[in-house]
Amino acid sequence: LRRAVGHIKNMTEEAVKADIALINHAEPLLKAEVYKPSSTIEFNREGEVLLYDCNPLKSETVYLKYPFVMYETSVPLSVINYFYNPLDLSYIWTSGFLLGSLMVAGSPRFS
């Protein structure tokens, strides 16, 4: 029975310990200063602050030199030009345009 009573602590000592802990661990008052950066803060596409990034495709807008979709869009135009021939071109020009667009659209493009 004596061991079971020993686990109860004196509440006045615990209250004093808690007050001392609050005084010792209290954070100092923050000064009301406004942070003014020396340069513009940049953010990447995920909204994270960008300090240094070796992959510019993640943070910068990429403007391609020419649209890659022109290769694929030339195929239907050349098929229409080959079968309907609205420009009244000769067979050599229409077949050349068709074969050329198929070869260019089917070729691999390296970025």
pLDDT tier at 60, thresholds 50, 70, 90: low
The whole-chain average pLDDT of the chain stands at: 77
Over residues 68-95, the pLDDT tens digits come to: 777 888 899 999 999 999 999 999 999 9
Which pLDDT does position 53 carry in this prediction? 57
111's tokens:
């970025």
Among residues 38, 104, 107, 40, which one has the least CA distance to residue 77? 104
Q: Which residues pair with 49 in a beta bridge?
A: 43
Q: Of residues 14 and 59, which shows the higher confidence score? A: 14
SS3 20: helix
Q: How far apart are CA 59 and CA 53, in angstroms?
A: 8
